[in-house]
Amino acid sequence: MGTPPSSLRRLGSAGAGFVVGLILLAVGLGIGLGHLLKGGVTPVALLGLAALVCGGALALTAGVAIARATPSWWRLLSVPALLLAAVFVVYVLAVPLRVAVPGRAEPPAAAPGELVGARAVTVDTVDDERLAGWYSPSTSGAAVVLVPGSGSSSAALGRHATVLAEAGFGVLALDPRGQGDSSGRGNDWGWFGEEDVPATVTWLTEQEDVDPARIAVVGLSMGGEEAIGAAGADHRIRAVVAEGAMKRTAADMEWLVDAYGWRGSVTLGIQRVQTAVADLLSPASPPPPLREAASAAAPRPILLITAGERPDEGLAAESIRAASPDSVEVWEVPGATHTAGLRTDPSGWTERVIGFLTEATR
């Protein structure tokens, strides 16, 4: 006997409710929780948390209804299938939601680190946003733009800013778009790098203490990815140091297939879906792959710093280096975690990075 029409209707209604519940769950996890952790109790955080609670209740209620409406022994398979579908849908949607609608990191209360003579500055972008930062004047004529990682402000750049300033570089420690005191809506995968980093380079070229031909960019994680992208688009950037740079879109993750076989293929497929969703949600467009940007930046040098405790960073870095082996070098810091090279090996990081930048900006 077939399934009665009434059961099919109940199953269809429950299925629709389950999908809506999962979408609300993804919104709550991706936006609500992210904004709560970064900015505290805000209207966006409260709306997101409401979506989280309602979505969880709706998905659970609809899931139970689906299981009950499923005929005979198929019911035994429905529970793990529903759980698997829930994890997949929520993960695929929550990550790009967090990326495209990120929470705002707190602005620094003062200049990061021990920047002598630093002053608060703002930089205008081509689309009329204002990027905030702190600038410590150069004593050598050379200068660097210093960009933090995803969801961070210049408050996270204290150690790095101090080391660079003590070596004589002018240091512009940046609040990325949508973070700290910078205006706009950011993107936690660094999709605004080709617009915003060149704007800061322009600002540096207008400073009396800076030689316009001696400007480099140092970035951590997302900041490193923005630095590589900007160097490919702006030939005024003489050199790049990128620590913990891995990906901005799925196009940067194709090495997963060679490294992990079918598991890598599945992960890459998920990354492609997430990139597409982020593209729909973000005002920024997906940037070129990091390999293309590194190739376009040649022969200007790029130093990629990877963490010894994060093997995937090394694989991603080698993928980038392969696109321009004569201009890209990779340095692994043994025992380091993500972007912790300076903390793990202060003397080694200082010697390697300052030596690289000094040579590149002569």
Span 295-327, pLDDT tens digits: 999 999 999 999 999 999 999 999 999 999 999
- Is 110 buried (19+), middle (13-18) or exposed (0-12) by CB count in 10 A? exposed
Q: CATH number of the domain at 119-360, please? A: 3.40.50.1820
Span 102-121, pLDDT tens digits: 998 888 888 888 887 899 99
Whole-number pLDDT of residue 1: 42
DSSP per-residue letters across 139-177: SSS-EEEEE--TT--GGGGHHHHHHHHHTT-EEEEE--T
CA–chain centroid gap for 34, Å, is 14
Whole-number pLDDT of residue 334: 97
Span 149-163, pLDDT tens digits: 999 999 999 999 999
Q: Which residues of the chain carry a pLDDT beneath 70?
A: 1-8, 72-73
What residue spans define the domains of the chain?
5-100, 119-360
Identify which of 179, 170, 188 has the alpha carbon closest to the alpha carbon of residue 130: 179
Identify which of 217, 206, 103 has the alpha carbon closest to the alpha carbon of residue 157: 217
At CA 213, angle to CA 210 and CA 217, rounded to 5? 80
Identify which of 226, 230, 113 has the alpha carbon closest to the alpha carbon of residue 164: 113
Q: What is the DSSP letter of 278?
A: H
